[in-house]
Homo-oligomer: A and B are copies of this chain.
């Protein structure tokens, strides 16, 4: 089969053997795979991952011990946990201390004709949801994780910094629940694409006299963190959504003085993403996809995804 491989230096599309699913795993024929900010970071050295890239996909189960799932369209949670450690036993399997993470840590990814994942990780995709929507479930669920971490009443003022893929998804998740959500970005065309319901968008610099209760930092830059701190009310919350592969210089004194809570936030539960997609069919999440490339043009696709101002780029195997 064909697969997009990162060898620690460069990306190539190679012919490799089709994977053999271990016990409890399913063999999945991949239909589409998304390129995520984390993939771009990995290619820049983050986590030192080598192997088949990719962790956002939609595919069809070709072979598994669950006959009901064979032939069905699925998406998959990317953390493969041990099931035995304290985290697994305490409902924190995504933090399993022995975990492998598809395309990120110790496990080949989904940018290939086939991939394998435990049956436990799979979610069947309802018919109403298209392939182009389903491939967006992983990042949408990651955005939904905010709601698991922050208890919202509905009257909060929220600001999302960063009009990239994840920033827009976070803004949409919050706009589903809160009246007062502002997305701040640097690209007019992205902000226009992000418009949905009562979501407010602001270009470049958000000036507000009233500070916000909740800030989502999705720029991944030092200036984004500084802006988040300056926009956050005392005892407010900043959710950190982006992983960047380098250190940044920041001043933590205002975090202390204003007793701000800074919460790291990573993957989410796919059930939350699925629920959101079904609740808001008008969201048309697939509008974030800017381009689709065949698998063997993955190098071009990565180049495109890394360009400033580009939203989601997807690989298609179908």
Using a CB-CB cutoff of 8 Å, which residues 228-265 of chain A contact chain B? 234-235, 240-265
Q: A251, B256: Cβ atoms under 8 Å?
A: no
* Chain B contacts for A225, CB-based, 8 A: 252
CB distance from A147 to the nearest CB of B (A): 13
Contacts of A235 in B (CB 8 A): 92, 95
**Is A293 at the interface (CB under 8 A from chain B)?**
no
Cα of A92 to Cα of B236 in the assembled complex, Å: 12
Interface string of A12-45 (1 = CB under 8 A from B): 0000000000000000000000000000000000
Q: Which residues of B contact A261 (CB under 8 A)?
A: 261-264
Instruction: For residue A292, give the distance in angstroms from its CB to the closest CB of chain B.
Output: 29
Q: Which residues of B contact A257 (CB under 8 A)?
A: 243, 264, 266
Q: A172 to nearest B CB, angstroms?
A: 20
Which of chain B's residues have a CB closer than 8 A to the CB of A254? 264
Q: CA of A257 to CA of B246 in the docked complex: distance in angstroms?
A: 14
User: Is A196 on the interface with B (CB-CB < 8 A)?
Assistant: no
Residues of B within 8 A of A242 (CB): 256
Would you call A95 and B249 a contact (CB within 8 A)?
A: no
The answer to the question of A6 belonging to the interface, with a C-beta cut-off of 8 Å to chain B, is no
**CB-nearest residue of chain B to A254:** B264
Bound: A87/B241 CA distance, A: 28
- Looking at the complex, which one of B46, B234, B244 makes contact with A252 (CB distance below 8 Å)? B244
Instruction: Tell me which residues from 161 to 215 in chain A have a Cβ below 8 Å from any Cβ of chain B.
Output: none
- Are the CB atoms of B87 and A259 closer together than 8 Å? no
Q: How far, in whole Å, are A46 and B254 apart by their CA atoms in the complex?
A: 12
User: A149 at interface (Cβ–Cβ under 8 A)?
Assistant: yes
CB–CB A95/B234 < 8 A: yes
Interface centre among A241, A250, A258, A264 (most CB of B within 10 A): A264
CB–CB A259/B248 < 8 A:
no
**Least CB separation from A41: chain B residue:** B253
A92 CB contacts on chain B under 8 angstroms: 234-235
Kindly list chain B residues whose C-beta atoms are within 8 Å of the C-beta of A97.
234
CA distance A235 to B91 in the complex (A): 12
CA distance A241 to B87 in the complex (A): 28
For the complex, give the distance between the alpha carbons of A241 and B145 in Å: 27
Assess whether B256 is in contact with A252, with CB atoms less than 8 Å apart: no
With A92-B235, A235-B92: A253-B244 Cβ-Cβ less than 8 Å: yes
- Decide: A262 near B259, CB < 8 A? Known: A235-B95, A252-B248: no
A153 to chain B, nearest CB (A): 13
Assess whether A95 is in contact with B250, with CB atoms less than 8 Å apart: no
CB neighbours of A266 from chain B (8 A): 256-259
For this complex, 25 residue pairs linking A to B, each with C-beta atoms less than 8 Å apart, are A87-B234, A92-B234, A95-B235, A95-B258, A145-B259, A225-B252, A240-B252, A240-B255, A240-B256, A241-B256, A243-B256, A244-B252, A246-B251, A247-B250, A247-B251, A248-B249, A255-B262, A255-B264, A256-B264, A257-B266, A258-B266, A259-B263, A259-B264, A259-B266, A261-B261
